[in-house]
């Protein structure tokens, strides 16, 4: 069964520092990949997605992610963290086996940004 691993349940960075949140998936067939952000007591907001084509995808709020098939990874980065980036981030996949009908989420990474 498809699974998603997010390495590091908590990540702390200083304002202005690089943000790197890691995501690895288990499928041998490249899935569609997503990153969502969740602020406290809110639903999930889509940051970016990869389906096909260019492996480096850009999203909202200055985030980007690179799909690496050989590493089965889809890590999320942002060159310079802002205080407003503090939130929980979820990596998710959906694939052809499931008819692209459901998202499988990782456990999430809580990002803290310090002044």
Partner 1 sequence: DTGVSQNPRHKITKRGQNVTFRCDPISEHNRLYWYRQTLGQGPEFLTYFQNEAQLEKSRLLSDRFSAERPKGSFSTLEIQRTEQGDSAMYLCASSLGLQGGYEQYFGPGTRLTVT
Question: Which residues are near partner 1 by CB under 8 A?
Answer: 4, 9, 32, 34, 36, 41-46, 49, 51, 90, 92, 94, 100-108
| Bridging pattern class, strands 10-14 and 109-114 | parallel
| Under 8 Å between Cβ of 32 and 95 | yes
Cβ closest to partner 1, residue 58 vs residue 79: 58
Closest approach of Cβ 9 to partner 1, in Å? 8
Helix (H, G, I), strand (E, B) or coil at 61: helix
CA–CA distance, 60 with 2 (Å, rounded to integer) = 27
| Under 8 Å between Cβ of 23 and 31 | no
Closest approach of Cβ 15 to partner 1, in Å? 25
Closest approach of Cβ 45 to partner 1, in Å? 7
Cβ closest to partner 1, residue 14 vs residue 55: 55
């Amino acid at each position: 069964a498809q699974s998603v691993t997010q390495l590091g349940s908590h990540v702390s960075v200083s304002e202005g520092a690089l943000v790197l949140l890691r995501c690895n998936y288990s499928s041998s067939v490249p899935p569609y990949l997503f990153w969502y952000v969740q602020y406290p007591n809110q639903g999930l907001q889509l940051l970016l997605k990869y389906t096909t084509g260019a492996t480096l995808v850009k999203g909202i709020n200055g985030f980007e992610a690179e799909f690496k098939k050989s590493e089965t990874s889809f890590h999320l980065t942002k060159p310079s963290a802002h205080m407003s980036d503090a939130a929980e981030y979820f990596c998710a996949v959906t694939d052809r086996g499931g008819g692209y009908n459901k998202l499988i989420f990782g456990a999430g990474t809580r990002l803290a940004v310090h002044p």
